[in-house]
Each structure stands twice: as structure tokens, then as C-alpha cells.
Structure 1
Amino acid sequence: MKKVLLTVLLLALLGLGTAALVVWRGWYDVSATSGHLKPVYRLLDVAMQRSVAHYAEDIETPSLDQPELVSRGAACYRDHCAQCHGGPGVAPSSVGMSLQPLPGPLMDAADRWRPRELYWITRHGIKMSGMPAWELRLPDRDLWALTAFLQRLPALTPAAYGDATGPAVAACRTANEACVAGECPREATAAERPMVPRSRLEAGSLALRQYACIACHRIPGIVGPDTHVGPPLDAWARRQRISGDQPNTEAALIRFIRDPQEVDPGTAMPDLGVTEEHARLMAEYLLAQE
């Protein structure tokens, strides 16, 4: 038995060493044109299925039969999902067709996933797949509306899909799009509140990730690229001033996050369409960094 265990250990170490060598030498092709190797694809697929089933198992599914809910879900699908997943008789965009792993059609999603699982995927997204998290973008009612529409999607003909998602159907705008249009809500709405249970600091970390702040800044406590486009945001609580020579107060930081070029016309930081409540969460997180 001792020899068997030693052999298994040595084989495991050999496997890890080989994997490390392949990664370090750059032999694994990460290009989207090559696709994943079958074992890698299968591993990622199984991990996704088991993870979604685990984290969604306690979600209570509301009634999804209301026609107005399905209609709203059709608009949200058209505006935020069809670009990558297409629809009956409608191809995805060139971006959607070029992603790896391929997003694929959702005409059979209701056969493969429970409603609570589709809701969870839409809300939280999937790492390393291109599937975004909509938790801070769409209100809860719209996430369930999308789920309701996906239950009807398998039965839709191309003509019926066109009717359900046609230009006459009202747009499904995200909170960010409302801000860019000058209609950003001042009070926290369901679209702005992160799912509970989360502490304020956890919610601030989520907001900083979901608004892609880590694309330009290194932020303590948040894993992201080793980027140097913008300055690091560590030890923020010790700073006396922020950009534009403003005092480092919560109110001033919120103003800068929401409208950076108004506060400092020389900054390269763009307007990200951050809602007031999300900017407050970000400011609280940064000001907690000693």
C-alpha cells in the first residue's frame, strides 16, 4: 500500500510539473481561433454545470406565466442577449460567433437548465466564458423576465420571435444606459442594490469589478490585471486630495466617480455611467483602505 501511495504521489507531481512546464513555456494555445482542447472544454463545462446547480439550489422561483413579464423578457433578450446567442431565425453578431467558448443558441436552454439556474447564470455571469453578470445592470424583475422569456423561446417560430422582439417593443435599458441618457436614478433602485447577503464593503468590491475599474487601476483586495494605465488606488484613506484638487471626502469622491471630467477636465478617466448608489459603495470601499 505504501508503494502504491508513493507511486500515485509521484505521478501527481509529474502531472503537475508537466502542466507547469506547458504553461510556462507558452505551449498551450490561448487564441480564440484554436478553441479549447476537448478535455479542457469538458472540464470547464462540467465545472459550470455543477457550480450553477449548487449555488442556485435555494433560489425560490416566482410565477413566470404573466404575459407582460414574458414581453418584458423578450425586450431584454433582444437588447442584451441576442448579440451573442441569436434567436430563432436570427444569427448572433460577429462578436458572439467569435467567442471561445462559443455562447451558443438558447433555444433549448429551458430544456437544459431549471428556471432558477437560468436566473442565477443571468445574474452572476460565468467566469472565463464571456457571459457577463447583470446583477448591477438590470433590476431583479428584468432578470426574472428574461428567465420567463427563455421558458417560451423553444416554442417560438422565427416569425413569432420577430413579433416578440420587434422595434415596437419598448427598450430594456440598463441602469448605466439610463445614466448616460441623463436619467440616472438618484435613489437606490432594485437595479442598483447588490444581492444580499453582502456587506457594504463586499458590495463596493463588486461594483468596482463590475464597472471595470480594475481594468485601469490596481485596487487592494481585488484580483485583477497588473495594469498601470491609471494610478493604484491603495491607501486611499490617507490621501488628502483627489483628482482635480478636490478634498478627499466621500461626497467629493462620489462626484468624481460619477462625472470625472466635470471635476477634472484633464483626466483621462471616462464617464462609466455609475449610478449614485454604486458610486457610494465604491467610495466606501476605497475610503476603508488605510
Structure 2
Amino acid sequence: MRRPLVAALTTLLLTGATAAAGTATATADTESKARARAVDYAGTVALSNCSGSLVRTANSGDDDPGLVMTNGHCLESGMPDPGTVITDQPSSRTFTLLNSGAQSAGRLTATKVAYATMTDTDVTLYELNETYAQIKQRTGISALTLSAEHPVAGSAIKVVSGYWKKIYSCNVDGFVHELHEANWVWKDSLRYTRSCNTIGGTSGSPVIDDSSGKVVAINNTGNENGEQCTMNNPCEVDENGKITVRQGINYAEETYGIPACIGTGNKIDLGQPGCTLPKPAGEGEGDNSRR
């Protein structure tokens, strides 16, 4: 997992990485589809230990409570075990909302963890104490829009880190049947081409499609040392069980399935038709534990 620990800071110093002016982020107006534009940092957030973004769906209303998206492994209570799904957990976590120039536009405050898991995907969704309209009026910032379409191989993308204030540019290299890291398994993960050499602290960064300006995935991990299926060294497992290790390659988890699980009032509704996000144990069909 891409966490901003001492190793990440050391990497940053050694590589001379600096805050970049970046060329691509996406924002979405409240009623219409997101319009592609030069990507900047507007709508991204910095957490205490990760990156994230203020997000909405095409059906979210201006008066709905806002949602902040980051990784499941960025959850303040610790990384959820395989098979664990968290919903409606009280939270007062705060986030720094960024403007286009990577400066603070204000603080956002959560009321609860609406949804979090590291099973099949790696995502946390926080519900905020303000609506999108209130946030826009106070900060001038609109939310990024989650795409409901599966990303396309070869597409140009940007990974926008609010923590490091850095934008990575690359393409979708392909998709992974299963990505295994330690005891966690993620399905249909997105693999970057090599130029998206993300580091610790970029966890939770929105992955934005250049052509649509929408969020298509959430940055979460990469193979650092060439090890096989260990912490910080995920491995790819295909449909036949063949394992492939790609040292130095980084990955994201697709987000196109999330909009189908967000219902009226921007509330997480795992029972909606078409919602395939893992459910808490005892809900829905089967269990969500790691296979």
C-alpha cells in the first residue's frame, strides 16, 4: 500500500520530487456531466496520511451531503481485515480541500465513514457535514465526478496527489484479474504504464481520465522490491492462477461500480440494483471474505 511513512519521505528526498504544476484534473458542475479541462488540483484533498478527493455521481444533488473518497487502507481506525466491510461508522476526520493551484481552499469535516473495505477493492467514502452547494459557496470548489464506465486500456490518465501536491501522467497499461498483496485480494485492478511512479502518500489519489475529465479509479499500491505478493509488493494473478511480478509498476482500483451503490440523498445503498460492492457479513448473497 502506498502510505506516507518515513520510507516515502526518504524516496521523495532522494528522487528530488517537488510539487508539480500538473496539467490535468477534472471538476464537475452540479447538474451536468463533467467537462474535460486541463487538470489541476481543484477538488482533491490532503489527509493526514494519504490523498483523496471530493466526489459526486452524475445523479448527486447540490443539496446532498458531500463525499470524500480515499483508500480503505487510509482509514483512521486501521486497515480493514480481508472480508471486512464497514458502514455508517462515526467519524470527525478533517481534510484539506485544494484549489487549482494546490493551495488550501478550506477544511472539510466528516460526520461518518459511509463505506470502507479492502476486499475486492480498496476504498473509503466519508460523508461530510456540508452539502456540495455549501462547499462550493464557501470554497469555490466543485466536486469531481465518478465515471460509471469501465476505464479503457491505453487511455491517457492523471493521478493527482493532494498529499504531495504532485500530478503523475501516464496511460492505462491494462487490467489485472486479481491483485494480491499480503492477505488482501483486489479484483480487476488497473495497471499504470511506468511513468506513473507513485510513492507513499499518493494512496487514495483520484485517477482522472484525460478525455472525459472524470474519476475512473483510485490509486492504491505498487511493487517496490520485486517480492511476490507481500506487503508493498503486490503480484498479479490471472484466471489460471499464474503469478506475475512487475517491480516498479503501480496500480489503482477501478471506481466505476461505486455510482450504482449511491442512492437518494447521496447515501450508500448496497441493495440497489447493479451494486456490486462487497457487503457486510450476513448481507446479500454469500460472504465477502477473501477467496
Range into which the TM-score falls when normalised by the shorter chain: under 0.3
TM-score, normalized by length of structure 1?
0.21
Higher strand share: 2
Alignment TM-score, normalising by the size of structure 2: 0.21
